[in-house]
Structure 1
């Protein structure tokens, strides 16, 4: 991006939300608001015509919603970066899947908006370096972060910080030290998305970071049990016994 102004297109079907973002962007440094759109179809047309660097994109819109807009633009060369702006936190996983660079909750906090603009600039700068033959900072095909909601809004969780993941009905709980967060995801999708060099599935309802495993033992019935670094134990399901043998080299 260099010193060029960040060209921003605001997309929201609520006039007051659009006005608030316009006011916040007017105070931001190095930003050029190139237009606003009030629906998904209009957003796609304007993005194609104006070639913005960044979309501040509402998720819940009638007709073509924000996720659909992001998917439609993703196929284009030099697709704009996307920051979702929404009153609903249940779209966080879908936002991650379309590679949004950030996810803001309404009403948008000015400090969080500045942070999102910085993330967008870094994302675009990394993409430019990749196009010039310099590898971007990260080109991993695996999940590197998650979004989860808490009392303050949404929190970004780096995959490398996760100790283990446990299933709770339709949700997955991410355990990081003494804290944990719920995300709406499936265990199978997580298993596919996580780097197998770092994580291993030990049970139909449990994935554990490999270096969080301190050892293995057996319970009275002869089943494997993983001893974890925090002193807890994780039973190993029958279907995943081969994973234990692969880790132990036997």
Structure 2
């Protein structure tokens, strides 16, 4: 069986040490070939137009155009490169997936996590070549990165039981643990798969299979009973979601 051609990768990062680390990781990864590096947004665009890489490993905070602006500018290319964001900040995840990024890596990049991003990119490009809808690969938020005492932890979206708002932050509840992330409730509602999650209150999103039932309180308001034994009041503006889940 013929080995697939390696992915031609361009790195765009204004931090020399971060770019060098990515180069070393790529050299050890399977199925990747570095074709160039850029240190700012404009250079990333110019080099992409000249070198036509398959994949752009793109920092977000850069001089001039940031990574989100670069991704938007390159989207008009035909074919456009796949984009994987590599950043030290988790609050840009929603914006990254809005520009159809294939993946979102947190610094310092884990070698296994980079390999997964390369494999995901190859699948994305294959889907695009065969006429399938590549947006399905990253249409919904698949994971979050949150800070804890040990550094950063990856949380798969499908593992989140519910999300609650705490001022400018959202708390992800997973079993008995929880983490704060810097997102808005509206952005999470748009980014999470509606087949899996439902917004029940202006300050709460719940995974549908985490709901064990519904009841009404004395004033007629719906209350969602959750699998961990807790209850979530349903906002009046969201009562239609109850009927939709219950098939009524």
- TM category, shorter: 0.7 to 0.9
Distance 1:105 1:148, change over 3 A: closer
Superposed counterparts of 1:68-217, under 5 Å: 68-129=69-130, 131=131, 135=132, 139=136, 143-151=140-148, 152-158=151-157, 160-217=158-215
Instruction: Tell me the number of residue pairs that the alignment of Structure 1 and Structure 2 aligns.
Output: 245
Q: Deviations over 1:136-176 (max 9, x none)?
A: 58738952423232334251523x43332221112222333
Look up the match of 2:225.
227
Is there any run of 5+ residues in structure 1 with no aligned partner, and where?
none
How many angstroms apart in 2 are the aligned matches of 1:39 and 1:231?
51
Judged with a 3 Å threshold, the aligned counterparts in structure 2 of structure 1 residues 64 and 167 are, in CA distance, closer, same or farther, namely same
Task: State the distance in 1 between where 2:208 and 2:234 align.
Answer: 14
Aligned equivalents of 1:192, 1:107: Cα separation in 2:
28
Give the equivalent residue in structure 1 for 2:34: 33
Counterparts of 2:80 and 2:221, CA distance in 1: 51
Contact 2:165 2:204 in 1 (8 A): yes
TM-score, with structure 1 as normaliser: 0.83
Change (3 A) 1:212 1:8: same
Corresponding residue of 1:54 = 55
Checking the alignment, whether the CA contact within 8 Å between 2:58 and 2:84 is kept in structure 1 is yes
Q: Write the deviation string for residues 55-87 of structure 1: whole angstroms up to 9, x where unpaired.
A: 111211111111111111122222111222223
| Counterparts of 1:196 and 1:119, CA distance in 2 | 22
Runs of 4+ residues over 6 Å off in structure 1: none
How far has the Cα of 1:50 moved from its partner? 0.9
Q: Report the secondary structure of 1:200's partner residue.
A: strand
Q: Take 1:30 and 1:226, find their aligned partners in 2: how far apart are those partners? A: 48
**Conserved? CA contact 1:89–1:149, under 8 Å:** yes
What TM-score, normalized to structure 2?
0.84
Equivalent residue runs for 1:231-242 within 5 Å: 231-242=229-240
Partner of 2:68: 67
Provide the secondary structure at the position in 2 that maps to 1:121.
Answer: helix
Query: In the alignment, is the contact (CA less than 8 A) between 2:30 and 2:115 conserved in 1?
Result: no
Uncovered stretches (5+) of structure 2, i.e. residues with no partner: none
